Structure 1
Amino acid sequence: MTLNTQRDTKETLRRRASTPLPVGHQPSPLDRDLPPNFNHPNLGHSASYHQGDTTPQPRGSWSSDSAESDTSEADCLYRVVLLGDPGVGKSSLANIFAGIQEKDSSDHLGEDTYERTLTVDGEETTLIVMDTWEAEKQEEDENWVQEYCMQVGNAYAIVYSITDRSSFDSASELRIQLRRTRQAENIPIILVGNKSDLVRCREVSVEEGRACAVVFDCKFIETSASLHHNVQELFEGIVRQIRLRRDSKETNERRMSIYKRKESVTKKARRFLDKIVAKNNKKMALKVRSKSCHDLSVM
C-alpha cells in the first residue's frame, strides 16, 4: 500500500501493515502455550527485505542539513521500536516521522508501522518505526507481541512524559527489561522525555533524565511532539547511533568530521576541554559523560 503524505511533492511514503508480525512468526493455536522461537533478522535486514531485490524504493523527503551524497549503494534498513507507557506520545512521534498531519491522524487509526528513508550526513538510511508496543491484540497474545518487540528492534526509543513521573519510572523498568533480553547485543537505546513544552506541569527534570541515561548507559533527548521540537533530531540521532555500532572506526571518523563542520566554535572548544578534563579526573569523566549523553552523534 502507498500513501502520499507529502502534498507538495510527487514522492510517496511507504506504510507497512498495521501488524509487525511476519507470517512466519504467527503462532498456531496449538503452539501458543510453548515459548516462541524468535529468529529475528540480522542487523540491517527486514523480514520483508530480500537480498538482490532491485525494485526501485520510494524516498522520503526528510533529510538533514548536510550535503547530499552521490553514493549508489543499496539503502540500509533498520527497525526502530518505540516503547513506553500509554499516553506518553509514542504515536505522535511516529506520525511526525511518517509526515502525517495532526488533522489527518484520525484517518490512519490502526496503522502502527511506518517506513521512511532519511538522508543523514549525506547518506541514505531507511528506518521502519514500530509503534506496536500497545497494538490491539487479543489478551492471550499480548505478552507474545511485547516479547517480539523486545527481540526484533535494531534500535529502541524508550519514551516517557516529563509531566508523568510514573511513566519515567516505567521507562527505567523497560531499560532493565531490554538489557536482560538483549544483554549480549550492542544496540542503540535512546531515553526520550516527551512533552517538554508543558513546562508548568513538569514532574521530571532534565537533570533526572540525563542521570537516568548515564546509569543505564543510553542516550537522552527531550522532545515536544506538539511543537515538533527535537523530533527530527531524535530520528537522525538514531541513524547515527546505528552507524557508530555498525561501521568501521575510519568510516565513523569521516562522518564525524562532516558533523563537526556544522558545530559552532564554542561547542568545539567545550568538546575539546571536556576530553582533556575527563582524561585526568575520573569524577569529572562521569560529569562529562552526563553532559554528552544527549549528544546522539557520539557513542
Structure 2
Amino acid sequence: MTLNTEREGKATLRRRASTPIPSSHQPGPRDRELPVDSHHPPLGQSASYQPGDKSIHSLANWSSGSEESDSSGAECLYRVVLLGDHGVGKSSLANIFAGIQEKDAHNYIEEDTYERTLTVDGEETTLIVMDTWATEKQEEDENWVQDYCMQVGNAYVIVYSITERSSFESASELRIQLRRLRQAENIPIILVGNKSDLVRCREVAVEEGRACAVVFDCKFIETSASLHHNVHELFEGIVRQIRLRRDSKEANERRRSIYKRKESVTKKARRFLDRLVAKNNKKMARKVRSKSCHDLAVL
C-alpha cells in the first residue's frame, strides 16, 4: 500500500482554506451562540455537501490494496476533525493525508481543510479532514469556532505528542469535552500519540496511552508523521470505525473477512487465544480490551 502524491491530469485535490461554516451562521457582534441541532448534518454528510452533488473530486485514491469494488455505487463523505495542542503534529498528519510533500508544505500554510477519497477494503469513502482547531484558536471568536468543531465531526482524532505530557493531559480533557457534548452519539474517536520516533524524549509511555483509551472508550494508535509511520493505518482505521457504526452487521462481517485475509497466521492465532482465555478470566478480559483499543478494525 502506497500513498500516491503525484498530481495527475485533471484530478485535483480539493483544499479549502477555511472551515466550511455555513455563511448564514457567521457570528456577529451579538450572535455568539452555535445552533446545535439545525446545522448539524447527519452522519455521512458535510455542511458544504448536498446529496446528489457531483462536484466533489480528489487528487488520487488511497488504496488499502483490496481489489473488490463497492457494489452500492453510493458516495460516502465524512468530516474528520483533528483536535489537540499546538505543535503536536496535527498539520503534519493532515499534509500526509492530503499528499503534500514536506518540501511543499510552506505553500499551504493558509490551508486547513483537505478532501480526499480513500479505497478501504474495496469500497470508496471520501474524508474531509479539518485541521482548524489550532489555526482558529487565536482569533476573537475562539469559543464559537471550537464549539463548532466539537459538533460537526463525524469522527475525531485527538492528537498529543509523546514528548509532551501536558499535551497528553490536554487530550484527556478534550475527550471529556466530547463525551459531554456528544454523549448520545456513537461517533468514532481515536487517540493518537504522535512523534513516536523521538524515543529518547518520550514522556508518555505506550501503556499510558492505551490505558487512557480504555478508560475513555476510544481507539488508540501511535504515529510518527516525520517517518509516515502508522499514518496510513490511522486514516484507514477512521474509515473502518465509521463503517462499523453506520452499516449493518452483515456488511461489516463481509468487510471484516476481507481485512482478516490480510492478517498473518501468527496474528490470527494470538487473536483466537486472547478471546478463548478472556472468556474465563476477568483480568485477562480487561487486558484483551486494552489490546483491542489499538485494533482500528473492530469496535
TM range (shorter): over 0.9
TM-aligned CA deviation for residue 137 of structure 1: 6.1
Partner of 1:37: 35
Give distance in 2, aligned partners of 1:160 and 1:137.
17
How far the C-alpha of 1:139 sits from its partner, in A, is 3.8
Provide closer, same or farther for how the CA distance between residues 138 and 190 of structure 1 changes in structure 2, counting only shifts above 3 A: closer
C-alpha distance in 2, partners of 1:56/1:151? 23
Q: CA deviation at 1:12?
A: 1.6
Q: How does 1:115-126 map to 2 (within 5 A)?
A: 115-126=115-126
The alpha-carbon distance between structure 1 residues 186 and 23, as it changes in their structure 2 partners (threshold 3 A), is: same
For residues 177 and 25 of structure 1, what CA distance do their matches in structure 2 show? 23
Q: Distance in 1 between matches of 2:154 and 2:198?
A: 31
**Aligned 8 A contact 2:21 2:47 in 1:** no
Q: Alpha carbon RMSD of aligned pairs, Å?
A: 1.6
Task: Give the C-alpha shift of residue 72 in structure 1.
Answer: 5.6
Q: What TM-score comes out, normalization by structure 1 length?
A: 0.94
Alignment of 1:67-146 (within 5 A): 67-69=67-69, 71=71, 73-136=73-136, 139-146=139-146
Which stretches in structure 2 are left out of the alignment for 5+ residues? none
Structural mapping, 1:223-242, within 5 Å? 223-242=223-242
For 1:108 and 1:281, the matched residues in 2 are separated by 52
Q: Is the 8 A contact 2:14 2:58 kept in 1?
A: yes
Deviations 1:116-159 (A, max 9, x none): 00000000000000001112366430010001000000000000
In structure 2, what is the Cα distance between the partners aligned to 1:88 and 1:53?
A: 35
Distance 1:56 1:107, change over 3 A: closer
Q: CA deviation at 1:55?
A: 4.3
1:94, 1:131 within 8 Å by CA — same for their partners in 2?
yes
Number of corresponding residues:
293
| Within-5 A mapping of 1:124-203 | 124-136=124-136, 139-203=139-203
Q: Provide the rounded CA distance (Å) in 2 between the counterparts of 1:183 and 1:160.
A: 22
> Which stretch of structure 1 is more off in the superposition, 280-289 or 111-120?
280-289
The offset of 1:24, in angstroms, is 2.6
* Conservation of the 8 A alpha-carbon contact between 1:193 and 1:209: yes
The 1:8–1:144 alpha-carbon spacing in structure 2 relative to 1, beyond 3 Å, is closer
Q: TM-score, normalised by structure 2?
A: 0.94
Give the whole-Å Cα distance in 2 for the aligned partners of 1:22 and 1:160.
29
| Displaced runs of 4 or more, over 6 A | none
Q: Answer whether contact 1:68 1:119 (CA < 8 A) is retained.
A: no
Counterparts in 2 of 1:208 and 1:123: CA distance versus 1, 3 Å: same
SS for the counterpart of 1:273 is: helix
Q: Is the 8 A contact 1:210 1:294 kept in 2?
A: yes
In the TM superposition, what is the alpha-carbon distance from 1:7 to its structure 2 partner? 3.1
Q: For residue 101 of structure 1, what is the amino acid of its counterpart?
A: Q
- Whether the 8 Å contact between 2:161 and 2:194 is mirrored in structure 1 is yes
2:248 is matched with which residue?
248
For the structure 1 residues 25 and 207, does the alpha-carbon distance in structure 2 shift closer, same or farther, using more than 3 Å as the test?
A: same
Match of 2:64 in 1: 64
- Structure 1, unaligned runs of 5 or more: none
Give aligned-pair identity as a percent: 81
Contact 2:58 2:115 in 1 (8 A): no
C-alpha spacing 1:56/1:135, structure 2 compared with 1 (3 Å): closer
1:269/1:12 CA distance change after superposition, 3 Å? same
3-state SS, counterpart of residue 193 of structure 1: strand
CA distance in 2, matches of 1:279, 1:164: 38
The 5 A counterparts of 1:18-33 are: 18-32=18-32
- How far the C-alpha of 1:69 sits from its partner, in A, is 0.9
